[in-house]
Structure 1
Amino acid sequence: MYIADEVLKDREWISEKIKIGEQMLYLTQKEVISLGLKEENILNLTRDALIAHGTKEYEMPAKIGIHPFKEVFFHAMPAWVPSKMAAGMKWIECYPYNPEKFNLPQTTGLLVMNDVASGCPIALMDSAWITAMRTPAVTVLAAQALHPDAETFGMFGCGVQGIEHVKYVVHVLKKLKKIYIYDIKEAAMDDLIKECQPLIDVEIIKGDNPEMVTKSCEVLSSATIILLDPLAEIKDEWVSKGQTILPCDLNTYFDPVTSRRADKYIVDSKEEHELFAGMGYFPDGLPEIACETGEVIAGVKKGRENKDELIVCSNIGMSVCDVVVGRELLNRALNEGVGVKLPL
């Protein structure tokens, strides 16, 4: 079997830091955060991952999972991105009732990274923070590609993801003047403003209701809950031509009619959306897919072609982004001596 020189060189560098096959590096969430990846770093890494996906320079099967209860899921998300020497898998779960029932986060998980040459696991780290960071990065990079001149942005859902979306969007939509937010819990909106407003120059406005936010914004995103049966909280008649809609919650929050009538329905991964459709998450059928997010960002396919196009771009999370960010964290941890070496 031929092993490329760059793979062997990568293995040699890792071997100077850890005994491959005998040890792996364990990183807690606190240690992951301590490695100092800033929003700009995450954006650059995520852009690289999306371009690799858009130019088909990756391997990533559609996420598979288990579902102990109707409203929860566990997903196994492997990926290989050659340009980053990033091979690994995220194992993540979503339990929407965790905060209220157990005082635990809705989402937790782990990311394992592997040595490409031998396949041996070389790192295990918290993936909840990685997920919280790369998810808004994908949304705002798509917003930049599809609606770069937007002056208004609306965010539905003011939890961890909503907060990070607001922090990230100002990095790429340089003409933003107002950010509108909405959550069924007013305290969540207050918490978002308290955390985010001191960090950004764009005014954050609490929406009175979903209709008001929808009609006030050129670009809209939602990070609420993923359910089999759509909530359709955002009525199709509120949505106008020329808007860009970027849901992170699959087919749940916006009326599915909007996605079906959009001029372009773009997704991060066709295979993953088709998988979810087969599981019943699109009860009225999966809309016709124009292209993938990475293809637009890589310049392989066209995004917005005129100001009147209604575009829906659904991004549900791809492991190419997780392993690329994870590999950078691993590199930093090995260089800085962060983490605990555990025997295999």
Structure 2
Amino acid sequence: MTTTTELDARTPGLNLGSDVLYLSKQNVLDLAISRAEIIGYTRDALVEHGHQRYEMPAKIGVHPYPEVFFHAMPAYVPGKNAVGCKWIECYPNNPAKFGLPQTTGLMVINDVESGVPVAIMDSTWVTAMRTPAVTVLAAAKLHPGAETFGMFGCGVQGKEHVRYAAEALPDLKTVYVYDNREAAADALIAELQGQVPFTLVKGESIEAVVKSSEVLSSATVILKEPLAAVKDKWVSAGQTILPCDLNTFWDPKTTKRADKYIVDSIEEHELFANMGYFPGGLPTIVAEIGEVIADVKLGRENSDQLIVNSNIGMAVCDVVVGRAIYDRAIAQRIGTTLAL
């Protein structure tokens, strides 16, 4: 039987059951965890998910206003010694109304052996990092050798998608970016062009980006009624579409006619459909992306297949990344110890 002294030896400076480590966003940044490392942690989480070695109930939430949600996202991944919960909220009007991010939140990491909370951390950085990690891992698996990529949305997620594409998609030559706020696209290109090994191009229109790109992703807003900003007639055979915004940005006709509709979590997509986010009905799901990355199920089988892979975020990725953050913070003695 593990004793308290042995448990404390694993977490120097932290008395389990009496203390909890608080990590601000700056604390997490100070740990200097690379994007390549985040991709590795995220791949590990997806493989565990693909092999069904996890526990993760579908998100539960509350909705103070019609356009917003708060979600509780717990998960346990035995193979990574990771258990915890993210409490995240999405307020699409925050940037314009208050000058605040649309997504904010906190994450709690627990000790698997004793159950006690060991860390509380800002979850916006974790979300910003693991979301594009899933996209580029999926893109590399579903569309190897892609030379063109289109990104809709040039905010925090858009920028990170471009940075992560540079880490995981070595054949990219051109990335097209588009935002309905033209200044946001200009700012992304000005900031990142010197940091990535491919050419960044501001899309002239949504249609032009779609028709120029083999792989496409969107990180815009999440709404119940589809915007259908991308018209189905613009989408061609052989493309790979990777939305991070549910059924919002793309014409539902496209997801319905895709040769393969893949999701990160079937249970969570069914939950969102029951909440009204797929008013025309959820497309037929053929696999979860973890299954494809773990080689449990096939992804792309020929170059003409149109594939849509909807990834809305899974707690298994959050807690695996969160556990890695906590372990490094303990090793580097970073963070603030608070009394429970």
Do they fold alike, i.e. is TM over 0.5? yes
Aligned to 2:157: 161
Q: Equivalent pairs: percent with the same residue? A: 62
Equivalent position of 1:56 in the other structure: 52
Residue among 35, 40, 55 paired with 1:39:
35
Which residue of structure 1 aligns with residue 338 of structure 2?
Answer: 342
**Structure 2 match to 1:243:** 239
Q: Give the match for residue 139 of structure 2.
A: 143
Q: Count how many residue pairs are aligned between Structure 1 and Structure 2.
A: 340
Equivalent runs, 1:225-236 vs 2, <5 Å: 225-236=221-232
Q: Give the 3-state SS of the residue equivalent to 2:334 in structure 1.
A: coil
1:206 — aligned with what?
202
For residue 106 of structure 1, report the CA deviation from its aligned partner: 1.2
Pairwise CA RMSD: 1.5
**Structure 2: which 5+ runs fail to align?**
none
5+ residue gaps, structure 1: none
Displacement after TM superposition at 1:13 (Å):
4.3
The one-letter code matched in structure 1 to 2:302 is N
* 4+ residue segments displaced more than 6 Å: 7-10
Give the CA deviation at 1:10. Answer: 8.7
Counterpart in the other structure of 1:179: 175
* Cα distance between partner residues in 2 of 1:147 and 1:336: 38
What is the alpha-carbon distance in structure 2 between the residues aligned to residue 178 and residue 64 of structure 1?
A: 39
Query: Per-residue deviation at 1:11?
Result: 3.8
Residue 215 of structure 2 corresponds to residue 258 of structure 1: no
1:263 and 1:10 map into 2 onto residues whose CA distance is 53
In the alignment, the residues of structure 2 paired with residue 70 and residue 195 of structure 1 have an alpha-carbon distance, to the nearest angstrom, of: 35
Give a deviation string over 1:13-56, Cα, whole Å, max 9, x none: 43444111100000111101111111100000000000000011
Structure 2 residue matching 1:228: 3-state secondary structure = coil
Find the aligned partners of 1:265 and 1:45 in 2 and give their Cα distance. 25
- Partner amino acid, structure 1, of 2:45: A
Are residues 1:290 and 2:286 paired? yes
Indicate the SS of the match to 1:52: helix
Amino acid at match of 2:136: V
Question: Which residue pairs with 1:110 in the alignment?
Answer: 106
Partner deviation per Cα, 1:153-208 (whole Å, 9 max, x = no partner): 00000000000001101222111110001100011001111121110120000001
- The TM-score, its normalising length taken from structure 1, stands at 0.96
Residue 9 of structure 1 and its aligned partner are, at CA, apart by 11
The residue type paired with residue 126 of structure 1 is D
1:73-130 Cα distance to aligned partner (Å, 9 max, x none): 1110000011111100000011111111111111110000011122111110000000
**1:124-146, Cα deviation, whole Å (9 max, x unpaired):** 00000000000000000000000
Match of 2:119 among 118, 123, 126: 123
Q: Is the 8 A contact 1:157 1:224 kept in 2?
A: yes
- The code of the aligned residue for 1:230 comes to P
The structure 1 residue matched to 2:276, chosen from 256, 275, 280, is 280
